Structure 1
Amino acid sequence: MTQMSDDLAKIRARVANALAEASRDADEVLILAVGKQQSADAIEAVWAAGQRHFAENYVREALAKMDRLIDLDIEWHFVGRIQSNKTRPIAERFDWVHTVDRAKIAVRLNQQRPPSRPPLNVFIQVRQAGETRKTGVNPSSVEELARLIDAQPRLRLRGLMTIPPADQLPEHNAEHFRRLRELKARICARGIMMDSLSMGMSGDFETAIANGSTCVRIGTAIFGARRTEAD
């Protein structure tokens, strides 16, 4: 577990350096530790090193960890594909969702968010490269979905999220990150306010920070290789 603490410290140092090189403030980027297929013990070890924001890709796996770690002050993010039949536990248990890509999902999350909880923080997932196997809304449809989400009282629209093609080199992802930043700026100029860009993972987060990311999703660079299988 000491290795994970050391790796988290290295990520924090690299994020700080990337922010300095981009002439950005030291607190402008949230590091999100992605615990996909990692144990609850591993998450607790990273929490003990000072990490508070954690992400999960699978609902059932996430709920088991949440129950196991219920006494820890963790903010939970959902970063996986959203199935219609899984929106209720996402709405009830998570604090942030990064992968909203259609109106039906947004409406269901709003309807199922408990009134006792703060509005659910939402990102729109944008599919920029025309990849048919990847979820996400096309850039031309983002504003329409953003307006719908902005009108939901139990949701809070925070920004846009993207995942560049997996077969590209990190330096080639800069164009995707730049376009997402520009899309967010255009939509904000039309009166729909957003404050965040969720972009950048273990292999390209420094490039993402250089292009305006405010949230980087780091898994293996903190936890190491994935240890278990999830359904």
Structure 2
Amino acid sequence: MIELHYWPTPNGYKIRLLLEEAGLEYRIVPVDIGKGDQFKPDFLEISPNNKMPAIVDHAPGGGGSPLSLFESGAILLYLADKTGRFLPRSMRERHQALQWLFWQVAGLGPMAGQAGHFRVYAPEKVEYGIDRYTREVSRLYGVLDCQLQGRAFVAGDDYSIVDMAIYPWIVPYEAHGQSLAGFPALSRWFETVRARPATARVYEEPSTAYSSKQPLTDEARRILFGQGGPPG
């Protein structure tokens, strides 16, 4: 059994996509980031960076005591290695795939997150921030569109953890000030991933993620965007 410490954000969705695709048994432990659950001592024991998602694998590969992991990219890589699925096995193809996983965690995720913040959540409109991050996300969409030309999926012919990492950050494209109309390869890929049964299962529940465009309370904003500590 895998415990998934989770809230429905793009990074949370990544892990659920893999768990559903692989058919692994898991239990969701909600981490309500708008109420400060990410600062609770029991959560910090497994995720010292006070961010979700995190997992606790009670039957880790290789045996031994339960294994806890935080950081969505690291979790995806661990689960792919554990199951032997959704990541190429040859050294060359594996590293060619991993460069796109790191592209997502270091580029698309942070830039799209900032675009969403300045466009949706910031308490005041900062035009420089909106323009800066909206333009950068558009540039990254162009990079991804080029990569997908002539390929079924981002890392090649097979669906992989790379696609699972990227897709949740494309879902809220409108909130990030984007359109898929100018990116035909990206648009085709997006519809292909959306049509997968595991994707449908993950996204069938109502979302409380920022892409829902639901306004934040002042308290939730203070907790989410405070400068370094638990609510108090």
- State the TM-score, normalized to the length of structure 1: 0.30
Larger radius of gyration: 2
